[in-house]
Amino acid sequence: MLLALITLFLLPVAARAAYFAFEDRPSSFRTADWSSTRTLPAADADRDARIIVYSGRTGGLKGVVAVHSWIVFKRENATSWTRYDVVGWGNPVRRNGWPPDGRWYGTAPTIVADVRGAEADRLIPRIEAAVRDYPFSGYGDYRLWPGPNSNTFVATVLRAIPELQATLPPNAIGRDFRPMPYAGWTDSGTGVELNLWGLLGFKAGWVEGLELNLLGLVAGLDVRQLSIKLPAFGQIPFSAPTARNMADPA
């Protein structure tokens, strides 16, 4: 069992840390590039309603193991996008703090979920309600580990709209945080979950796949998307990934 835990959890983190040490990464929040990737059309250039969940590698030492997630949407015929994030200073919930398709700490984000048209228009009011009702929106509520953090926020929104059939990547640390022990359906409603405050847990579902959570690090297998899940690295497909990198052409 000890050998299995080392293989599944410690070795991937060590390998990612070694790679991270040689990456050209911003030295601070101020020197990082937060600009738009210019891959999302202007809101008034696309009449359809649309919901997009993004994820991008975070900065500092956190970047070894974690990504930051946010949610973007617009209603039909809207003239602007709306973006919601949670951050660790001041009022945690931020609206339009950065470009909707912006880089996060210099890294172009990937798309976790993308829904458009009538289905998106129907779900947007529920997203807005989930943002309003987010229980950790006060000053001082943010906690880097095990949560509630930025990924806890997006996971809470996704939990309110299981029709999206989406789950955050396994290296979105904090996504599994719950204030109380939990046993029941997974967020998508397609499987079962056992969870102890986001520190220890197990999931088995069609959308979530098989996941084992140890201290917020997740290892597992996704049969639906034919990929493995490794701590620090995230989801590694056996074939071409389904989530498009925002650095690629739209």
Kindly indicate the confidence band of residue 128, based on its pLDDT and cuts at 50, 70 and 90. Answer: very high
SS3 173: coil
Q: What is the DSSP string of the chain?
A: -HHHHIIIIIHHHHHHHHHHHTS---SSTTTS---B-S-SPPGGG--S-EEEEEEEE-SGGGGGT-EEEEEEEE-TT-SS-EEEEE-SSSSSEEESSS-TTB-BTTBPPEEEEEEETHHHHHHHHHHHHHHHT-TT-STT---SSSSSSHHHHHHHHHHH-GGG-----TT-TTTT--SS-EEEE-TTSSEEEEEETTTEEEEEETTTEEEEEETTEEEEEETTTTEEEETTTEEEESSS-SSPBTTS--
- Distance linking the first and last C-alpha atoms of the chain: 45
Residue that the structure tokens 């990464």 belong to: 25
The pLDDT of residue 2 is 81
Whether residue 195 contacts residue 181, with contact meaning beta carbons closer than 8 Å, is answered with yes
What does the pLDDT look like over 58-108, one tens digit per residue?
A: 988 899 999 999 999 999 999 999 999 999 999 999 999 999 999 999 999
Q: Is the pLDDT of residue 248 over 50?
A: no
Q: Which pLDDT score is estimated for 7? A: 86
Confidence of residue 245 (pLDDT cuts 50, 70, 90): very low
Strands 50-57 vs 110-116: parallel, antiparallel or unpaired: antiparallel
* Per-residue confidence band for 240, with pLDDT thresholds at 50, 70 and 90: low
pLDDT above 90 (res 48): yes
Q: Give me the percent of the chain exceeding a pLDDT of 70.
A: 95
Give the chain's mean pLDDT: 92
Tell whether the model's pLDDT for residue 243 goes beyond 90: no
Report in angstroms the alpha-carbon separations of 142 from 46, 68, 88, 138, 153: 35, 14, 6, 8, 10
39-57 mean pLDDT:
95
pLDDT tens per residue across span 144-191: 999 999 999 999 999 999 999 999 999 999 999 999 999 999 999 999
Query: What pLDDT shows up at residue 28?
Result: 84
CA-CA distance, 136 to 145, in Å (whole number)?
14
Q: 228: helix, coil or strand?
A: strand
Is 26's pLDDT higher than 90? no
Strand partners, 53: 71, 113
